[in-house]
């Protein structure tokens, strides 16, 4: 028995040190050197104070701000410690009702807007934490924001153009905008990521 137990304990100890200590330290160190902002949580600061993260969506409800994608995290929206989707399929009546109520809320906030409502403004993502919206979703909100802030629509459009991010690596995904960056730009605050 001892002839088998000792090697097993030595291998267990060695693998624990390698896989549980050395490997995580190496990966964390490489990540911190190569991607310092992301490893630190991509915290956005404005005026010297943290105001959010470029990686986690926030709920904005004022008509003078861009609204992000709905969140299905529990117990509150955009809960980073409870990342999840609603897990409701397209035929689920609860999902249909939720989408209809979100469409109604968008139309009530901007009754003069007759454009089609972009899908990302009325459906939650799998994570429930999307910090970005499509250009169509941003464009849909221009009239409401311009009216609420007494701005010309062209000024709001210019902010969207300035904050637009292209496709990742030139071909992955679609052009998009970060909602927090848009709203900070609307407020005229200079933001930086630590």
Mean pLDDT of successive 10-residue segments in the chain (194 residues)? 86 96 95 87 86 89 93 83 82 91 94 94 88 96 94 94 89 92 86 56
Quick one: pLDDT at residue 42?
85
Same domain, 13 and 46: no
Total count of domains within the chain: 2
Which pLDDT tens digit goes with each residue over 82-120?
888 788 888 889 889 999 999 999 999 999 999 999 999
20 and 52 belong to one structural domain: no
63 and 144 inside one domain: yes
pLDDT for 2 equals 75
> 90 and 184 share a domain?
yes
Long-range contacts of 95-103 (CB under 8 A, 24+ apart): 98/70, 99/123, 102/70
Residue 124 sits in the same domain as residue 146? yes
82 and 24 assigned to the same domain = no
- Where is 192: in which H helix or E strand? strand 191-193
Same domain, 84 and 21: no
- Are 184 and 141 in the same domain? yes
What per-residue confidence (pLDDT) applies to 193?
Answer: 58
Enclosing domain of residue 183:
41-193
Task: Give the C-alpha separation, 84 to 71, whole Å.
Answer: 9
Verify that 126 and 64 share a domain, yes or no: yes
Q: What is the pLDDT of residue 194?
A: 53
Strands (E), 26-153: 43-46, 49-53, 132-134
For residue 186, the SS3 value is helix
Residues 11, 80 within the same domain: no
Shared domain for 111 and 17, answered yes or no, is no
Q: What is the value of pTM for the model shown? A: 0.80
Same domain as 178, residue 123:
yes
């Amino acid at each position: 028995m001892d002839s088998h137990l000792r090697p097993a304990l030595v291998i267990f100890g060695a693998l624990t040190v390698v896989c549980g200590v050395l490997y995580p330290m190496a990966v964390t160190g490489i990540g911190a050197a190569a991607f310092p902002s992301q490893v630190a949580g991509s915290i956005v600061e404005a005026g010297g104070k943290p105001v959010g993260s470029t990686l986690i969506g926030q709920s904005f409800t004022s008509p003078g701000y861009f609204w992000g994608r709905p969140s299905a995290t529990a117990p509150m929206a955009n809960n980073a410690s409870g990342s999840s989707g609603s897990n409701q399929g397209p035929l689920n009546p609860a999902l249909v009702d939720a989408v209809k109520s979100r469409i109604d809320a968008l139309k009530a906030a901007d009754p003069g807007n007759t454009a089609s409502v972009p899908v990302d403004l009325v459906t939650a993502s799998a994570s429930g934490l999307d910090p970005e919206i499509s250009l169509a979703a941003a464009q849909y909100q221009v009239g409401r924001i311009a009216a609420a802030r007494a701005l010309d629509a062209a000024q709001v459009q210019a902010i969207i153009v300035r904050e637009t991010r292209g496709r990742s690596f030139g071909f992955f995904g679609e052009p998009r905008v970060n909602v927090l960056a848009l709203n900070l730009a609307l407020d005229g605050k200079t933001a930086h990521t630590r």
